[in-house]
């Protein structure tokens, strides 16, 4: 090692040469490649294994033979009993409900088969006796041997094995991918088609991702919506877990109301390690593009559009509600031209990282925090009014409609950036009972905040305002129906029951097959998304189950730090992020006027369903029309007719029949007078204001 000479071993020079093949090696190689040689004889190990199995089978052969003979005797006795009792004929008569009419024929056929049985026994006995007289005792051995072999062959398979009808069936398995008839039987078992109906195969079963997919047409008058609603029954008939079965109606040019797409995953599609958000791999994001939100069961990326709409996230605690809300906000944070109002009613550190980029920031659940949220929302309502006034002065080239555009949102001189209001645990602020006097009317601080949010959700999207609300108490008392009815996109993680699921997703969504209370507790971050806009799953999707991306606090801080750096570089960092929390001067009178509606006392009240949905649907037509057909309301609100009639009756609205124009003539239809609907609204308003006065007293 230090450079000194040391003795070394002798080194030999040579080259490798192939050993010539001997006759024995050639014979061995030919023996291994020969097709006529059984595999058991090609190696000593295989031969030993084969010999061991053969000897074992020979040892077990007597016992197996006796068992087969015993089962053969039982099987033969069962077959003879069914035959002699005319079981097939009797069952056919029972199914056709003509058993009484066929009783005489069944009785006669039964007696005939008994006679045939007796005649066969007498003839066989006489034949065996004659052979015994002629040939002696060897006849008994021959008859016994033939009979035992026949019985052993008949009973060679145990009950439940292929080729025999099982006494106790084994487990059901998914076999419809190989046999389409099983799929038809599954639809019949789930009572989705009749016994005499069948399916039409549009696309054969094929592998799509980690599962099997098939597209079928239902029989005439059968609807895909019923298959979606009864997905659990179909999953049971197919012997798969319901989370593995995805049922979608095929819409658009290649679909119709009776065409169904089925996809069955090989295993639970929502299990496995968390999914990393792709936003961590981008330097910035355009707020006008849908935000990466998660993946569906088929592993398609689902992007959530936010501009022009709003979002409600609801779930019970510890189901991923805050994570889902932060995913929606992350895309807006990475756009340096976006302004954020962040209000955290929880008071923890989940949104602490967003403080460095927020234009307005509130964290806490005290009264002072609720007042701060109110003041910031009043400021934003005034900003929306000012934006509409400024857009009215712009020419048609810059602002072709009374809506914000990408160019307007990025023009610093116009001052109308995309503005997002993110409120986590919104119920903390909406339930605040502190009494308020607003515009001479009595209300509560929580109701006033709800009115401000309702205005922003209604009027804000066209002015570039996005409202994102998250709550762990999705009930009608927490989020008023006037606010809930106008929220565009909905995302429901696991909730307690179907009522809470409907409050988040919309009325009667559970009857259409979308119920967030059926989600498994182990599926963290998995929820039902009802998007307001086009997703990668299709523009016509009513709702779909999505597994959201996972973004823990460490990655969330990275996103927020990157958002601050982008704003510093673009010169758009402002407000709370730079220490400027001073409120801007606003005209509070105009804000109050913007919240006034056409109710009895000129104040927004919380209308119950379906009254709130009717008022929202009719709008100004509530005062212009005299009569609204029930069929029109049921179709527009997508509700069940019987339930709708009962709820309207409870509100004091009685249906009646009137003549309405129909083409060249008229027809008599059932419906409601708008005067009765307005009276119901006034009654609800009077009851609510009277309740507020009583509380004040």
pLDDT number for residue 183: 85
- Average the pLDDT over 488-514 and give the result: 85
pLDDT, greater one: 566 or 4: 566
pLDDT number for residue 164: 44
Average pLDDT, rounded, for the chain:
81
- Asked if residue 456 lies in contact with residue 423, where contact means CB atoms within 8 angstroms, the answer is no
pLDDT number for residue 603: 47
* Nearest CA among 265, 249, 269 for reference residue 257: 249
Residues 436-449 pLDDT 10s: 877 667 788 988 89
- Asked if residue 504 lies in contact with residue 474, where contact means CB atoms within 8 angstroms, the answer is yes
Rg (Cα) of the chain, in Å, rounded? 39
- Average the pLDDT over 113-134 and give the result: 87
**E strands present in 364-471:** 418-424, 435-438, 441-444, 465-471
- Asked if residue 338 lies in contact with residue 420, where contact means CB atoms within 8 angstroms, the answer is yes
**E strands present in 315-431:** 338-344, 360-363, 418-424
Share of the chain above pLDDT 90, in %: 23
pLDDT, greater one: 203 or 14: 203
Q: Which two tokens stand for residue 612?
A: 């709130």
What is the C-alpha to C-alpha distance for residues 458 and 454, in angstroms, rounded to an integer? 6
* Dihedral over Cα of 5, 9, 11, 17: its sign: negative
pLDDT number for residue 697: 44
- Average the pLDDT over 155-160 and give the result: 57
Q: Which of these ranges, 490-494, 533-537, 624-628, has the smallest mean pLDDT?
A: 533-537
Q: Which of these ranges, 296-305, 387-396, 612-621, has the smallest mean pLDDT?
A: 612-621
What is the C-alpha to C-alpha distance for residues 47 and 56, in angstroms, rounded to an integer? 14
Domains, the chain, ordered by start: 44-154 (no CATH), 180-265 (3.30.980), 294-578 (3.40.50.300), 597-696 (1.10.10)
Q: Which residue has the tokens 């004040």?
A: 696
What is the C-alpha to C-alpha distance for residues 546 and 290, in angstroms, rounded to an integer? 15
- Average the pLDDT over 14-18 and give the result: 55
pLDDT number for residue 167: 44
Residues 294-322 pLDDT 10s: 998 888 899 999 998 899 999 888 888 89
pLDDT number for residue 130: 86
Per-residue pLDDT at 161 exceeds 50: no
pLDDT, greater one: 687 or 617: 617
- Average the pLDDT over 335-340 and give the result: 94
What is the C-alpha to C-alpha distance for residues 26 and 29, in angstroms, rounded to an integer? 5
pLDDT, greater one: 396 or 344: 344
- Average the pLDDT over 384-394 and give the result: 89
Residues 232-249 pLDDT 10s: 899 888 888 888 888 888
Per-residue pLDDT at 160 exceeds 50: no
pLDDT band at residue 177 under the 50/70/90 scheme: low
Q: Which of these ranges, 28-32, 327-331, 407-411, has the smallest mean pLDDT?
A: 28-32
Q: Please, which residues bridge with residue 526 across strands?
A: 547
* Nearest CA among 479, 480, 477, 486 for reference residue 459: 486
- Asked if residue 397 lies in contact with residue 443, where contact means CB atoms within 8 angstroms, the answer is no
Q: Which two tokens stand for residue 687?
A: 């009851």
Per-residue pLDDT at 43 exceeds 70: no
pTM value surpassing 0.75: no
- Average the pLDDT over 486-503 and give the result: 87
Q: Which of these ranges, 85-89, 188-192, 609-613, 666-670, has the smallest mean pLDDT?
A: 85-89
- Average the pLDDT over 124-144 and give the result: 84
pLDDT number for residue 589: 63
Per-residue pLDDT at 194 exceeds 90: no
pLDDT band at residue 585 under the 50/70/90 scheme: low
Per-residue pLDDT at 94 exceeds 70: no
Task: Give whole-number Cα distances, 558 to 134, 353, 354, 537, in Å.
Answer: 103, 9, 10, 29
- Asked if residue 410 lies in contact with residue 659, where contact means CB atoms within 8 angstroms, the answer is no
Per-residue pLDDT at 55 exceeds 90: no
pLDDT number for residue 538: 56
What is the C-alpha to C-alpha distance for residues 345 and 330, in angstroms, rounded to an integer? 19
pLDDT band at residue 101 under the 50/70/90 scheme: low
- Average the pLDDT over 475-491 and give the result: 80
pLDDT number for residue 329: 94
* Nearest CA among 656, 683, 650, 680 for reference residue 668: 656
Q: What angle do CA 33, 39, 44 make, to 5 degrees?
A: 95
- Average the pLDDT over 6-23 and give the result: 55
Phi-psi category of 299—alpha, beta or left, where left has phi over 0 and alpha has psi -120 to 50?
Answer: left
- Average the pLDDT over 318-347 and give the result: 92
pLDDT number for residue 527: 92
645 three-state secondary structure: helix
pLDDT number for residue 692: 46
pLDDT band at residue 137 under the 50/70/90 scheme: confident
Per-residue pLDDT at 473 exceeds 80: no
For the chain, give the number of residues.
697
- Asked if residue 627 lies in contact with residue 621, where contact means CB atoms within 8 angstroms, the answer is no
- Asked if residue 313 lies in contact with residue 321, where contact means CB atoms within 8 angstroms, the answer is yes
| Of the ranges 55-59, 203-207, 257-261, 519-523, the best mean pLDDT one | 257-261
| Of the ranges 155-159, 174-178, 298-302, the best mean pLDDT one | 298-302
Q: Which two tokens stand for residue 619?
A: 């709008």
* Nearest CA among 339, 291, 350 for reference residue 556: 350
pLDDT, greater one: 578 or 666: 578
């Amino acid at each position: 090692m230090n450079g000194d000479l040391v003795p070394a071993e002798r080194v030999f020079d040579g080259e490798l040469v192939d050993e010539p093949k001997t006759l024995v090696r050639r014979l061995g190689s030919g023996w291994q490649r020969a097709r006529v040689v059984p595999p058991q004889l090609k190696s000593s190990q295989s031969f030993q294994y084969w010999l061991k199995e053969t000897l074992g089978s020979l040892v077990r052969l007597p016992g197996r033979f006796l068992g087969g003979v015993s089962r053969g005797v039982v099987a033969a006795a069962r077959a003879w009993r069914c035959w002699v009792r005319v079981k097939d004929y009797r069952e056919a008569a029972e199914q056709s409900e003509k058993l009484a009419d066929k009783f005489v024929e069944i009785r006669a056929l039964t007696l005939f088969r008994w006679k045939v049985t007796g005649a066969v026994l007498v003839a066989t006995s006489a034949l065996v006796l004659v052979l015994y007289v002629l040939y002696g005792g060897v006849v008994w051995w021959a008859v016994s041997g033939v009979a035992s072999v026949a019985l052993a062959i008949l009973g060679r398979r145990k009950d439940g094995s292929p080729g025999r009808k099982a006494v106790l069936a084994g487990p059901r398995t998914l076999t419809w991918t190989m046999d389409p008839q099983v799929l038809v039987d599954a639809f019949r078992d789930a009572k989705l088609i009749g016994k005499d109906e069948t399916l039409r195969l549009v696309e054969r079963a094929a592998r799509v991702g980690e599962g099997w997919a098939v597209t079928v047409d239902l029989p005439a008058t059968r609807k895909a919506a019923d298959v979606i609603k009864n997905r659990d029954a179909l999953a049971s008939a197919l012997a798969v877990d319901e989370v593995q079965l995805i049922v979608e109606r095929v819409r658009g040019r290649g679909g119709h109301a009776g065409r169904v797409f089925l996809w069955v995953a090989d295993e639970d599609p929502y299990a496995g390690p968390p999914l990393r958000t792709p936003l961590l791999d981008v330097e910035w994001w355009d707020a006008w593009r849908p935000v990466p939100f998660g993946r569906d069961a088929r592993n398609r990326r689902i992007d959530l559009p936010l501009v022009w709409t709003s979002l409600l996230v609801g779930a019970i605690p510890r189901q991923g509600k805050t994570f889902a809300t932060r995913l929606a906000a992350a895309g807006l944070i990475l756009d340096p031209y976006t302004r954020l109002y962040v209000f955290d009613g929880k008071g923890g550190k989940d949104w602490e990282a967003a403080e460095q980029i927020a234009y307005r920031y509130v964290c806490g659940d005290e009264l002072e925090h609720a007042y701060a949220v109110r003041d910031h929302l009043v400021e934003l309502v005034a900003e929306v009014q000012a934006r509409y006034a400024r857009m009215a002065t712009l020419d048609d080239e810059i602002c072709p409609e009374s809506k914000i555009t990408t160019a307007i949102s990025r023009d610093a001189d116009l001052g109308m950036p995309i503005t997002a209001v993110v409120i986590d645990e919104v119920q903390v602020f909406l339930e605040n009972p502190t009494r308020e006097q607003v515009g001479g009317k009595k209300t509560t601080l929580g109701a006033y905040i709800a009115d401000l949010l309702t205005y922003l959700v209604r009027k804000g999207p066209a002015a570039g305002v996005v409202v994102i609300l998250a709550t762990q108490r999705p009930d009608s008392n927490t989020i008023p129906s006037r606010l809930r009815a106008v929220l565009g996109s909905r995302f429901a993680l696991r909730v307690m029951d179907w009522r809470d699921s409907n409050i988040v997703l919309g009325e009667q969504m559970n009857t259409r097959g979308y119920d967030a209370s059926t989600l498994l507790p182990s599926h963290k971050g998995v929820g039902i998304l009802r998007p307001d806009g086009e997703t990668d799953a299709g523009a016509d999707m009513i709702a779909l189950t999505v597994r959201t991306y996972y973004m823990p606090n460490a990655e969330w801080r990275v996103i927020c730090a990157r958002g601050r750096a982008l704003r510093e570089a673009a010169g758009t960092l402002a407000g709370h992020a730079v220490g400027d929390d001073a409120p801007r001067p606003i005209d509070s009178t105009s804000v109050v006027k913007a919240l006034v509606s056409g109710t009895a006392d000129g104040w927004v009240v919380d209308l119950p369903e379906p009254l709130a949905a009717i008022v929202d649907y009719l709008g100004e037509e509530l005062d212009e029309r005299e009569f609204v057909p029930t069929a029109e309301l049921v179709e527009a609100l997508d509700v069940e007719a019987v339930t709708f009639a009962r709820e309207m009756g409870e509100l004091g609205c009685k249906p009646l029949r009137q003549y309405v124009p129909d083409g060249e003539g008229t027809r008599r239809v059932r419906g409601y007078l708008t005067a009765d609907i307005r009276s119901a609204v006034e009654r609800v308003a009077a009851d609510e204001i009277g309740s507020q006065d009583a509380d004040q007293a």
